Amino acid sequence: MTRPTILTWLLSVCMSISVTTSCGTDTQANKEQSKPLPPLITKEQIKEIYSLYIQKDYAAYADEMLSCDDKPESYKRQIAILLEQHATEHAEEEGNVTGFEVNTIKPQANGQAAEVYLNITYANGNTEEIQLLFIHDGLRWRLR
């Protein structure tokens, strides 16, 4: 083969590979785009999950955390202990939580996540706004 023929042949091979790989319909990006969006998390779902914390069921609250999946039980127990310590320290300052309301739900990450703001009321009458982040894991909404 002559030099121009080899270059032409190489160019056509490269173009064929490029077209074949870039025009494939089974790419991860196409799969992500075709996945239906989950319905936005509801106030009821948020209240159900945050109530676990208010009711001092810290192990169940930790189970709602996506970040605890695939972690050993000892890790989940540590998270539950940390949640309990935080709640106890906060209760010493403000008193126990006497109520909460879902204030705002902001969709994030193309509807796959939500930034949630709650108004918390304490026994001493003080209120506080807190933020929770939720992620849809493909089946249900979970705490991040």
Q: Is residue 109 part of a domain?
A: yes
pLDDT for position 17: 55
Tell me how many degrees the CA angle 57-81-42 measures, rounded to the nearest 5: 40
Q: Is residue 86 part of a domain?
A: yes
Q: What is the pTM of this model?
A: 0.73
Q: Closest Cα partner for 33 from 141, 121, 115, 111? A: 111
Q: Is residue 80 part of a domain?
A: yes
Please list, in sequence order, all residues whose beta carbon lies within 8 angstroms of the beta carbon of residue 32, skipping any fewer than 6 positions away: none
- Which range marks the domain in which residue 82 is found? 40-143
- The Cα–Cα gap between 116 and 120 comes to 13
Q: Could you give the number of structural domains in the chain? A: 1
Q: Closest Cα partner for 71 from 12, 47, 80? A: 80
Q: Is residue 56 part of a domain?
A: yes
- What tokens does 114 get? 């939500």
Q: Is residue 12 part of a domain?
A: no
* pLDDT beneath 50: ranges in the chain: 7, 13-14, 19-22
pLDDT for position 99: 94
pLDDT for position 73: 94
Q: Is residue 87 part of a domain?
A: yes
Cα-based distances in Å from 107 to 3, 6, 18, 37: 58, 54, 37, 11
Residue 128 maps to which CATH number?
A: 3.10.450.50
Q: Is residue 14 part of a domain?
A: no
Tell me how many degrees the CA angle 76-41-122 measures, rounded to the nearest 5: 65
Q: Is residue 29 part of a domain?
A: no
